[in-house]
Amino acid sequence: MPAASARKPVIAGNWKMFKTVAETAKFFQVFRPLVEDLTHAEIVIAPSFLSLPAAVEGATGSQIQIAAQNLHWESEGAFTGEVSAPMMKAAGARAVIIGHSERRQFFHETDETVNLRVKAALKSGLTPIVCIGETLDQREAEQTKAVLLQQFDGGLASLTEKDFSRIIVAYEPVWAIGTGRTATPEIAAETHICIRDKAQQRFGKKLAGQLRILYGGSVKPANIQGLMEKPDIDGALVGGASLEAASMAAIVRYQA
């Protein structure tokens, strides 16, 4: 397995349903100078669909990559309210978050639809950031491993090795999202190792060693360092703390 340092960390901000177009432009004016000199990590910001063009414009000429938060798996068609991979790609997105627990909980996404979305993203040349994670009840019932493996297998069903080499996985325990209750670095690392073991069984040692697994759930400037010290944690998917430029920059700068 390659050394952990062979995997470039990714710090991604998921803005969820926050920020107008004007607020997006303002964020980039403040954020860019704070991270301009950094090369140790890839930086990703995922605004709402409406703010994608403003974010792409705000990030032009920087190393910041823009992602969408969801996609429909068809390229086009009669699907009122949906946005397709070719549309977001044309708008300048490079990646897309797929299967976030809020999508699963509130919009009934399943491993099957996650799988369709992953394939559509790959087909359009977008990097899928595929979210998996257990609820508190599942963790307390000691079902964490089974739940994650099922989401991994279902969401990534019938992917080729080449497909798999292009995805990023985000482990987001549902009980840690927006609750202020972060998984300890030990709990997160233990779970990341379990996901990487699963990846190794399915896709072999080399690809599993290259897979970037992000942790998400109440990541803040105060806890990022401890998480990133764990060799199997390759970055973070940050919700609330990504909305403010200074706090997102502090997270990106965890080792600077």
**What are the residue numbers of the active site?**
100, 172
List CB contacts of 244: < 8 A, sequence separation 6 or more.
none
Compare residues 125 and 178 and give the one whose CB is closer to ligand PGA: 178
CA separation for the pair 154, 132 (Å, rounded): 11
Compare residues 208 and 245 and give the one whose CB is closer to ligand PGA: 245
* Stretch (H or E) spanning 32: helix 21-35
226: exposed, middle or buried (Cβ count in 10 Å: 0-12, 13-18, 19+): middle
Closest CB 8 distance from ligand PGA, rounded Å = 20
Closest CB 220 distance from ligand PGA, rounded Å = 8
Q: What is the dihedral of CA 175, 181, 182, 185, to 10 degrees?
A: -100
Compare residues 83 and 174 and give the one whose CB is closer to ligand PGA: 174
Closest CB 127 distance from ligand PGA, rounded Å = 16
**C-alpha closest to that of 169 among 142, 187, 193:** 193
Compare residues 164 and 215 and give the one whose CB is closer to ligand PGA: 215
CA separation for the pair 123, 127 (Å, rounded): 10
Closest CB 101 distance from ligand PGA, rounded Å = 7
| 123: number of Cβ within 10 Å | 14
State the residues that interact with ligand PGA by CB under 6 A.
14, 172, 177-178, 216-219, 237-241
The amino acid that residue 45 corresponds to is I
